[in-house]
């Protein structure tokens, strides 16, 4: 698996790439490291050349929130297909969420997932461990065993379920301090969201769909920030979706508490009125997601928060589902959207084209910050001599209609089909080895 293009040669020189959007330079990669950055590099005859004129070089993207579905739902995604999708999206590392079947709540399961990622070889798969046994919300899983395993788990989450029991949440926050772990909370007060189908607001009222109030997210975030402060722990908030949540996180950070947060690409672009009326009809469950799409005001607040750093990073919440789980009536459909292959394009559209972030900001939000939060070594580092050669080359100048037909993901549940989005990932390098060249998997 490791003998791909690029390893048979002595090294690779990338010509004319604009690091974080700066002036064009050449980058020489050898033995998995960035060995030289400058003008007119040759590196000798045995070096392969990648022309990168006009392309932006970013540190390889890191996703804190990916559902790879293996083990258990290999009909929706596998580690191989999911990491191929990640590579095409410019990612060199993904955090695989724990809600598999069996749940990733033991050292055995997390090691299996980690090893599958290693074998596939498209990007590093860093398993997330479940906080509670079977995501049941009752007993702590063996967090230490997962931390000590080969997978070296540092992020723990019951994602898909909220750790709603305040005592259990407190204990988890405290316990993971022993190995510098972090609890990533899916903030959703369960009683306030029983049967909830979409954002509670004017649209849900008209459509007769059970509402998902913003307060159900905000109540848990405020509680958990207070808990984290009380026990002096790190807390990470998954997929923040409301303007109110942003205010609470801003407040917690202003207190100096160690709270971090992520936002998904879809919450930066899409709004709940798509459920009522969209190019793909009314009540199309392609827009059904947890947390739900919110209002335009929420989208604006999330963008501003990502720009000013209140929200630390973008995480895809890539959630593949087979077609039969979406081609149903709304209430029966599964929640979630795929996102690995469109994340950078959506972030360019929502944040760069609007002037809210420059490419350095994109690198920080999509690579450095998530690697830092996940305590992931070898990823999310500045593009400097001596750093591991985890790189993404991106062409921001093109625009194209989104067409999932060619996606590497096993699933097709993208909400962007038919939209025109900017940008294209041209190449991805994982420790010097190209996983994607010329926009195609190697």
Partner 1 sequence: MKRHLISAADLTRDDALLILDTADELAKISERSIKKLPTLRGRTVVNLFFEDSTRTRISFEAAAKRLSADVINFSAKGSSVSKGESLKDTALTLEAMGADAVVIRHGASGAPYRLAGWVRGSVVNAGDGTHEHPTQALLDAFTMRRRLGPLDGRKVTIVGDVLHSRVARSNVLLLATLGAEVTLVAPPTLFPVNVDSWPCEVSYDLDAMLPKSDVVMMLRVQRERMNAAFFPTEREYSRRYGLDRERVARMPDHAIVMHPGPMNRGMEIAAEVADSPRSTIVEQVANGVTARMAVLYLLLGGADLGGEI
Q: Which residues are near partner 1 by CB under 8 A? A: 197, 200-202, 204-211, 213, 281-284, 324, 327-332
Q: How far is CA 320 from the centre of its chain?
A: 13
Distance CA 428, CA 88 (A): 7
Among residues 332 and 398, whose Cβ is nearest to partner 1? 332
Closer residue to partner 1, CB minimum distance, 208 or 355: 208
> Smallest gap, in angstroms, from Cβ of residue 282 to partner 1?
4
CB nearer to partner 1: pick between 53 and 324? 324
Q: Kindly state the smallest distance separating residue 162's Cβ from partner 1, in Å.
A: 20
Could you tell me which of 307, 290, 268, 252 has the C-alpha nearest to residue 421?
A: 268
Question: What is the rounded distance in angstroms from the CA atom of residue 234 to the CA atom of residue 55?
Answer: 37
From the CB of 285, what's the least distance to partner 1, in Å?
8
CB nearer to partner 1: pick between 96 and 198: 198
Measured from the CB of residue 273, what is the shortest distance to partner 1 in angstroms? Answer: 12
Between 252 and 333, whose beta carbon lies closer to partner 1? 333
Catalytic residue, candidates 63, 124, 317, 325: 317
The residue (of 122 and 212) whose beta carbon lies closer to partner 1 is 212
How many Å is the maximal CA-CA distance in the chain? Answer: 67
Q: Is 317 a catalytic residue?
A: yes
Neighbouring residues of 8: CB distance < 8 A, sequence distance ≥ 6: none
Residue 247 makes CB contacts below 8 A (sequence gap 6+) with none
Nearer to partner 1 (CB atom), residue 197 or residue 413: 197
CB of 194 to partner 1, least distance (A): 9
Distance CA 249, CA 263 (A): 12
Among residues 175 and 283, whose Cβ is nearest to partner 1? 283
Give the β-pairing of 420-430 and 391-401: antiparallel
Q: Which residues of 365-388 are buried (b: 16+ CB within 10 A; e: fewer)?
A: bbbbbbbbbbbbebbbbebeeebb
The least distance separating partner 1 from the CB of residue 329, rounded to whole angstroms, comes to 4
Encode 156-188: b = buried (16+ Cβ within 10 Å), e = exposed.
Answer: bbbbbbbbbeeebbbbbbbbbeeeebbbbbbbb
Minimum Å gap between C-beta 203 and partner 1 is 8
Closest CB 376 distance from partner 1, rounded Å: 41
Active-site positions? Answer: 317
């Amino acid at each position: 698996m490791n003998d791909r293009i690029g390893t048979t040669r002595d090294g690779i020189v990338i010509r004319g790439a604009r690091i974080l959007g700066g002036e064009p330079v050449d980058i020489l990669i050898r033995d998995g490291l960035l060995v030289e950055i400058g003008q007119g590099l040759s590196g000798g005859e045995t070096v392969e050349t990648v022309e990168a004129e006009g392309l932006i070089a970013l540190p390889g993207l890191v996703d804190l929130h990916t559902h790879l579905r293996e083990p258990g739902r290999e009909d929706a995604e596998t580690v191989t297909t999911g990491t191929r999708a990640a590579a095409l999206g410019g990612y060199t590392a993904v955090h695989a969420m724990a809600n598999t079947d069996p749940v990733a709540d033991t050292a055995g399961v997390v090691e299996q997932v980690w090893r599958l990622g290693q074998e596939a070889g498209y990007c590093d798969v860093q398993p997330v461990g479940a906080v509670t046994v079977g995501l049941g919300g009752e007993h702590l899983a063996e967090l230490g065993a997962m931390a000590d395993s080969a997978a070296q788990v540092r992020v723990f989450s019951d994602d898909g379920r909220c750790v709603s029991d305040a005592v259990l949440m407190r204990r988890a926050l405290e316990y993971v301090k022993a190995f510098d772990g972090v609890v990533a909370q899916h903030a959703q007060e369960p009683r306030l969201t029983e049967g909830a189908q979409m954002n509670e607001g004017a649209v849900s009222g008209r459509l007769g769909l059970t509402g998902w109030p913003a307060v159900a997210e905000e109540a848990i975030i405020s509680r958990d920030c207070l808990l984290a402060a009380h026990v002096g722990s790190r807390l990470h908030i998954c997929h923040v979706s409301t303007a109110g949540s942003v205010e609470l996180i801003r407040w917690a950070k202003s207190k100096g508490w160690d709270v971090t947060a992520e936002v998904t690409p879809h919450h930066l672009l899409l709004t709940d009125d798509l459920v009522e009326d969209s190019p793909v009809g009314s009540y199309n469950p392609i827009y059904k997601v947890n947390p739900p799409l919110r209002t335009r005001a929420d989208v604006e607040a999330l963008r501003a928060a990502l720009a000013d750093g209140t929200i630390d990073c973008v995480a895809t919440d890539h959630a593949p589902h087979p077609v039969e789980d979406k081609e149903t009536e709304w209430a029966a459909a599964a929640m979630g959207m795929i996102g690995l292959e469109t994340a950078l394009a959506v972030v360019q559209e929502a944040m760069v084209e609007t002037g809210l972030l420059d490419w350095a900001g994109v690198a920080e939000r999509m690579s450095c910050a998530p690697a830092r939060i996940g305590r992931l070594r070898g990823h999310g580092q500045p593009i400097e001599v001596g750093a591991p050669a985890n790189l993404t080359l991106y062409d921001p100048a093109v625009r194209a209609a989104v067409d999932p037909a060619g996606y590497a993901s096993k699933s097709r549940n993208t909400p962007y089909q038919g939209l025109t989005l900017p940008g294209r990932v041209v190449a991805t390098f994982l420790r010097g080895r190209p996983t994607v060249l010329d926009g195609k998997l190697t």
